[in-house]
Structure 1
């Protein structure tokens, strides 16, 4: 399946290679060389995915991600040389869907792009999951609290879905990492805590419980 992808990257060599790899997979690729140009393209066209560098002129990637997330639930992959945990946490707090550090294998990069697209646009999810006032429409990938829609990122939705599918049972951070990324992830599993923090803030429900040092569960 072909997707329309926006690549916002100021390194021309990396930009060109990413475009080439994505184009070979029949995706339609638009590029921008700084954050401001990226925002202009985002406002002009409909995209299925944004691949976003952090350190850029005019507007950095965090500012761009914040702007995009204020307008859309479009999946975002951050691509950056910043490796510190706080940099990754900051990205996830803004609602990004994945974070890839440079240098990277372009073959692994493509697998991660495919994973984000698959999670975001999968047609295989079925039925509705409910718990008290919380409802997940897994076909439409929508979340409702007391019949009012709450917009979650794809990763946040997948976490809530995992918790609802295992109501009353512990779901470990490691199992959530496997569901969210679908491959071996070598970062800190506390990234899950950042997602849970965002979910609690958005849903404002009291029954997402922390099992200290292990994981989470939805329970009375």
Structure 2
């Protein structure tokens, strides 16, 4: 059965280009040209993934994504000309699965769509994951340290899980990007540093023992002992 793609894009030339390219690859495609109709389609249609522009008429892509996430965990890839790290972080924090800046290569977009669909089709995780005094409970998607509940965004949660599953291993920024964001990243790796800073402010800063350590020139490592750089 064909996988269904919803494209929410007000620039008709771009929307038509994407439609033709995705149909050529075997996807079934529907287009919405504004935020209201895009939101309605995303919530009422049976789609496998949404490609969502940020700058949309009526309501913008960020608001559309927020409303989608209130009711659905469908994969959403944001498409936008905004390439600042703060804009990417905003989209990812709201719940985007990926963030692609214009102009982009269609091959890269296909790769990111395939990655998002693979993650969607992974079996649900159950049980708990522990490291030191940090516990991730996949049954409730709660994180606790020393018994204290810590509220994390989706990407912070995914980043912490990856660090915990690879505790004691030096992880490059590129490897973290590929694992947590689900694709081979093209461009600035600053988003990793931003999210590590966010995660440290919740996991490390309120506690005496620091767990997330910097390895200069390489990336990061999760460990109980060692010097904080």
Normalised TM-score (structure 1)? 0.76
SS of residue paired to 1:162: helix
Do the aligned partners of 1:73 and 1:151 also contact (CA within 8 Å) in 2?
no
Rounded to whole Å, the distance in 2 between the matches of 1:157 and 1:121 is: 19
Distance 1:97 1:106, change over 3 A: same
Distance 1:117 1:177, change over 3 A: same
In terms of mean alpha carbon deviation, does 40-49 or 11-20 score higher?
40-49
Query: What residue is the counterpart of 1:80 in the other structure?
Result: 80
Do the aligned partners of 1:143 and 1:152 also contact (CA within 8 Å) in 2?
no
Query: What residue is the counterpart of 1:3 in the other structure?
Result: 3
> For each residue in 1:91-116, what CA deviation from the matched residue of structure 2 results, as whole angstroms up to 9, or x when unmatched?
22322121112222212221121122
Query: What residue is the counterpart of 1:17 in the other structure?
Result: 17
Larger radius of gyration: 2
Do the aligned partners of 1:50 and 1:75 also contact (CA within 8 Å) in 2?
yes
Shift of 1:79: 0.7
Normalised TM-score (structure 2)? 0.73
Is there any run of 5+ residues in structure 1 with no aligned partner, and where? Answer: none
> For each residue in 1:122-159, what CA deviation from the matched residue of structure 2 results, as whole angstroms up to 9, or x when unmatched?
3598996433562365xx9x84446x9x8964x55542
Q: How many residues align?
A: 215
Query: What residue is the counterpart of 2:227 in the other structure?
Result: none
Query: What residue is the counterpart of 1:97 in the other structure?
Result: 97
1:50-65 matches, within 5 Å, as: 50-65=50-65
In terms of mean alpha carbon deviation, does 109-118 or 121-130 score higher?
121-130
SS of residue paired to 2:70: helix
